[in-house]
Amino acid sequence: MKKTIAYLSLLFILGVLLYVANPNYGLKFGPGGDDWKNLRYTDDYYITHGVQEVGGTNIVTDIVFDYRGYDTIGEATVLFTAIAGAVALLRPWRGDEE
């Protein structure tokens, strides 16, 4: 009984997601032309101004390190903390040394 309810709820989640992805009601896949200028103006700004403002020809690197640098700092902090936590969890325990 519990398993049936769980799998029915899975199907419900899948149906809701597919309904959201329908281009008539929700997400539009790949806007072009004027829709691109209206809906994705941030991407358009980065593509047209990135080389002049930052200098790198790889726009993704420009965004990661310059426009969204705070994200990268937080992500570097997360990487450092996670590696430190993993190494500290896996250290040899006190009663373990042969």
Alpha-carbon distance of 43 to 5, in angstroms, equals 42
Q: Does 32 bind another protein (CB under 8 A)?
A: yes
CB of 23 to another protein, least distance (A): 7
Q: Does 48 bind another protein (CB under 8 A)?
A: yes
CB of 45 to another protein, least distance (A): 10
The residue (of 1 and 90) whose beta carbon lies closer to another protein is: 90
The residue (of 1 and 22) whose beta carbon lies closer to another protein is: 22
Q: Which of 52, 68, 76 is nearest to 60 (CA)?
A: 68
Q: Which of 39, 38, 57 is nearest to 47 (CA)?
A: 57
Map residue 23 onto helix, strand or coil: coil
Alpha-carbon distance of 56 to 63, in angstroms, equals 10
Q: Which amino acid is at 58?
A: N
Residues in contact with another protein by CB under 8 A are 6-7, 10, 13-14, 17-18, 21-23, 27, 29-33, 36, 40, 42-43, 46-48, 50-51, 53-66, 68-73, 75-83, 85-87, 89-93, 96
